[in-house]
Chain A
């Protein structure tokens, strides 16, 4: 008799248990720092206090479970290093993502002052053209911040004209427009260091930019890189908790792949015997 294929509902059940179990009972598997995460960390860590930096939130709630933890960890690192953060978004929902992270971090860092330590310029449609126009003058693209306040009245924007006044650009990207466009304009044209994070699935298409020319200075790819970053800054949070779940889910997938292959070869052998 041919080996039967497993009902997909069993796979769903095992994946569900594999994800849920470690979230309830933490296993604490080891987290190892990879080169790309270390590069991104070093860029932020070596930037002097008081430097103006640009964060672009180019994702929406669909990618939140994967990108939000790394965004929070990197913004936290910048705050710790006393960088002046300018937030913007190439995706409409990115503004809410910024608000959510700053709402959480403001309670942990009550000394942060809006307009002095950070500013949210909000969303602007246009993708790569927006990035290009910002390279000439921020004010032509963002005359006001997300609250409608003139950016000339915000102390953080004093003497900030374009990318020449920015120490690094950091983009969290779930697709286009996103980190690729920041590399193409922010780094290739204006020679600013660009770093950031992407979802695990889009990492292969962005990794070629991490090269000798440093088009990208490191890259956080997926939840594992976020967990690594949390470890580097000594603030384990959501990503660290999620890594056990992801590891177990991957293990279950591998087990099912092995079972699938055993079934295939058994069936093939039986057909050959006949």
Chain B
């Protein structure tokens, strides 16, 4: 019963949603709208579940002194500070439990939550993303080696797209006459992106789409049961 009931529920729900796509009228359309509302409510709880899980995982790592456990203290502390500041003085558009923190705003220029978001969180995130530039440069130096005909193709395409996707491409081949416009680097880059890349990407998307249909059907028909836990 523990497994059968969820399987039956999944099957009925799956079929109703599937049918409502073809027959969006009563009762299927109405039921699907309700199911959508339930989904949104459950998703909200999933956020809370995620936060509880974050605390649980990190607290356990600190308690059992896992490798680098000191870093997990920072995670918990950062989480607690943001939640506390958000709850007490609110955010830019929301009032907190202690009001808007007018006196604090006079000193630091914004609410504590927004201050930390603008001056710490944003910059830390942007820094993480920006570091990619260094790793990509180092990886490109090691990986783009013309060893085989295939790697030659990859190398040439990469260089053309890299040049074409920057102002440098326009600068280097901007002098070309109109009848040689197809050799203009931004045009070459666009051609590569529009045809070979898109063709390859479409093949992947069609494959993934078919896979999605297959696994959805397996779930609806009760063949795929891993989402219930266990084997």
Contact = CB atoms under 8 A, between A and B. Distances in A.
B167 A243 contact: yes
Interface in B21-54: 33, 36-37, 39-40, 43-44, 46-47
Interface residues of A, number: 67
B138 interface: yes
B144 A208 contact: no
Interface stretch (B62-70, B99-107, B128-136): B128-136
B87 interface: no
A163 B46 CA distance: 27
B193 interface: yes
A99 B94 CA distance: 12
A207 B192 CA distance: 12
Contacts of B12: none
B190 A34 contact: yes
Contacts of B186: 32, 34
A132 B144 contact: no
Contacts of B166: 29, 224, 243, 246-247, 250-251
Interface in A225-258: 227, 243-244, 246-254, 256-257
Interface string A13-43: 0111001000000000111101100000000
B-side interface size class: 35 or more
B94 to A, nearest CB: 7
Interface stretch (A59-67, A74-82, A154-162): A59-67
B47 A125 contact: yes
Contact of B162 (A12, A62, A254): A254
B3 to A, nearest CB: 25
Nearest to A199: B129
B73 interface: no
B94 A31 contact: no
A19 B144 CA distance: 22
A112 interface: no
Interface in B104-129: 117-118, 121-122, 125-126, 128-129
A147 B91 CA distance: 10
A140 to B, nearest CB: 7
Nearest to A268: B147
Contact of B136 (A29, A208, A253, A261): A253
B140 interface: yes
Interface centre among A35, A62, A250 (most CB of B within 10 A): A250
A3 interface: no
A203 interface: yes
A146 B121 contact: no
B194 interface: yes
Nearest to B113: A96
Contacts of B205: 205, 208
A97 to B, nearest CB: 10
Given A15-B137, A96-B117, A125-B46, A29 B198 contact: no
A11 B147 CA distance: 22
Interface centre among B91, B141, B158 (most CB of A within 10 A): B141
A164 to B, nearest CB: 15
B58 interface: no
B36 A133 contact: yes
B46 A146 contact: no
Contacts of B134: 11-12, 15-16
B19 interface: no
A6 interface: yes
B126 A124 contact: no
B93 interface: yes
Contacts of A60: 125
Contacts of B194: 207
A264 interface: yes
Contact of A120 (B93, B125, B163, B167): B93
19 contacts: A14-B137, A15-B133, A16-B134, A30-B171, A63-B129, A64-B122, A65-B126, A125-B44, A126-B40, A146-B94, A204-B193, A207-B194, A208-B201, A224-B165, A224-B167, A243-B166, A253-B137, A256-B140, A261-B145
Given A120-B93, A253-B141, 11 more contacts: A12-B137, A30-B174, A35-B190, A61-B122, A62-B126, A96-B92, A99-B93, A125-B47, A129-B40, A247-B167, A264-B147
